Amino acid sequence: MTALPTGAVTQLMQDRWDIVMMRNYGTPPIALDHGRGARVWDVDGRVYLDLLGGIAVSSLGHAHPAVVEAVTRQVALLAHTSNLAIHEPGLALAERLSTLLPGSTRVFLCQDGATANEAALKIVRKSMQGRRSEIVATHGSFHGRTLGALSVTGNPAKRAPFEPLPGPVTFVEFGDVKALRAAVTDTTAAIMLEPVQGESGVIVPVEGYLAAARQIADDVGALLVVDEVQSGIGRTGEWLMCAAQGVLPDVVTLAKGLGGGLPVGAVLATGAAAEVFATGDHGSTFGGNPVSCAAALAVLDTIERDGLLEHVRTVGDHWAASFDTVDHPLLAGHRGVGLWRALELTEPVAAALEVQARSAGFLINGVRPTSIRLAPPLVLTIAEADEFSAALPSLLDLVMTQVSS
Ligand SMILES: *Cc1c(COP(=O)(O)O)cnc(C)c1O
């Protein structure tokens, strides 16, 4: 039998995809088979360094023994209970998450980022019932694809086909304290923000922005909802960015990296916001599924046991320093925090760089025409980080020849 040419299995799967899948994603350029640590193998046997981690999700990398063990054990015990029964993994996870914020915190477990933000929006609605409904959110934000989460997502292209969306929502420039202060009035129910905008290209606001938002919300009696779906659980070298900055929101949402690849989200509410939901106000059949919760507990345990918060800061700083040494006409600069970085390009060639990187065995994300996002597993080693930094100049050279030809 003759060997299939490189990429043949991928091509066959892409053909099947094009026939059966809805067109909302476009056809992915890659078909993955398995992974280990920060590496993944595609269906044609090609290996890649995964510097996107399933969009900031695979926090412990792929097939981490702690996650494999926890999930295997739990699925063999009990895969599902519904919310008509208590189960230990869900209860233990809520207890652990409640300690990430000071004071009395209650937790709602759900499946993902959008369902976490939906619950947060319902907490806001009910707290302000009949008095205030306006939410102030930010341009360039991303809070998810359900109608509620989309209503506070500041991306016109994602919103337009689905209008009218719930509201009212007012959008202000991200990071602009003055604009936030001007927009928030005594009719504002809540301010909703990401500490750093991930989908916009790892946009880090001015120092003190979150604290200012807290103050502005307090001044008018509005709630502060902080979406840590992408920033939370170690991505920045902290459990939560808000807590690390000494800011206590009314509501914090989590998902992405929490389950180490298993779908789980969480809403943390403090103070009065924690007491808003009464019996019957909200629910989810699959939310806080025991298998996902067991995975999340394994993630939290491993981050703690292996000192991964510190590791993320060390490798992130090292990576940033290595990008500083790359002097190339296509590289305008870089930004980010922890293992959450963006390369800013001088030309709209992010998609081309993503393609070149993939051919060279690196999975990266052209999150905007001029921005590359990096959100690798938190277990990425310095040596692995260096592999990419070392390859970067020649990858940029390859893109350069395309641009000038
Ligand atoms: C990804 C993301 C969401 C949406 O999460 P899903 O799990 O895709 O629903 C919400 N908020 C932020 C900040 C995100 O990065």
Model confidence over 353-377: pLDDT tens digits? 999 999 999 999 999 999 999 999 9
Confidence (pLDDT) at 404: 77
pLDDT band at 87 (very low <50, low <70, confident <90, very high): very high
Two domains, one topology: 8-63+307-404 and 65-305: no
* Contacts (Cβ under 8 Å, ≥6 apart) of 386: 322
Element (H, E) at 326: none
- pLDDT 10s digits, 246-275: 999 999 999 999 999 999 999 999 999 999
Rounded distance from Cα 112 to ligand 1 centre (Å) = 7
Rounded distance from Cα 202 to ligand 1 centre (Å) = 13
Global pTM exceeds 0.75 = yes
Question: Residue 55, Cβ neighbours under 10 Å: how many?
Answer: 15
- pLDDT 10s digits, 273-315: 999 999 999 999 999 999 999 999 999 999 999 999 999 999 9
CATH 3.30.2010.10 assigned to domain 65-305? The reply is no
% of the chain at pLDDT higher than 70: 99
- pLDDT 10s digits, 141-185: 999 999 999 999 999 999 999 999 999 999 999 999 999 999 999
Which tokens belong to 141?
């934000």
pLDDT reading at 194 higher than 70: yes
pLDDT band at 130 (very low <50, low <70, confident <90, very high): confident
Confidence (pLDDT) at 3: 59
From 109, 110, 230, the mutation candidate for ligand 1 (largest count of ligand atoms within 8 A of CB) is 230
Which one is catalytic: 108, 171, 256, 388?
Answer: 256
Helices (H), 306-330: 308-324
Confidence (pLDDT) at 28: 97
pLDDT band at 6 (very low <50, low <70, confident <90, very high): confident
The rounded radius of gyration (Å) of the Cα atoms in the chain is 21
CATH 3.40.50.460 assigned to domain 8-63+307-404? The reply is no
Does residue 317 carry a catalytic annotation?
A: no
pLDDT reading at 388 higher than 90: yes
pLDDT reading at 322 higher than 60: yes
Q: Which atom of ligand 1 is nearest to the CA of 263?
A: 7
Report domain extents, the chain: 8-63+307-404, 65-305
Q: What is the mean pLDDT of residues 210-234?
A: 98
Cα distance between residue 37 and residue 371, in whole Å: 25
Q: What is the mean pLDDT of residues 107-134?
A: 96
From 226, 256, 267, the mutation candidate for ligand 1 (largest count of ligand atoms within 8 A of CB) is 256
Q: Please say whether the beta carbons of 346 and 272 come within 8 A.
A: no
The mean pLDDT value of the chain amounts to 97
Does residue 227 carry a catalytic annotation?
A: yes
Rounded distance from Cα 147 to ligand 1 centre (Å) = 13
Instruction: Measure the N-to-C terminal CA separation of the chain; round to a whole number of Å.
Output: 40
Q: Which atom of ligand 1 is nearest to the CA of 144?
A: 4
pLDDT reading at 98 higher than 70: yes
Q: Which atom of ligand 1 is nearest to the CA of 117?
A: 10
Q: Which atom of ligand 1 is nearest to the CA of 194?
A: 13
pLDDT reading at 4 higher than 70: no
Alpha-carbon dihedral sign for residues 95, 100, 102, 105: negative
3-class secondary structure for 280-311?
CCCCCCCCCCHHHHHHHHHHHHHHHHCCHHHH
Which tokens belong to 258?
């929490």
Rounded distance from Cα 130 to ligand 1 centre (Å) = 28
Residues framing ligand 1 (Cβ under 6 A): 112-114, 117, 142-144, 194, 198-199, 227, 229-230, 255-256
Does residue 18 carry a catalytic annotation?
A: no
Cα distance between residue 313 and residue 241, in whole Å: 13
pLDDT band at 5 (very low <50, low <70, confident <90, very high): low
% of the chain at pLDDT higher than 90: 97
Confidence (pLDDT) at 24: 96
Which one is catalytic: 142, 171, 174, 323?
Answer: 142
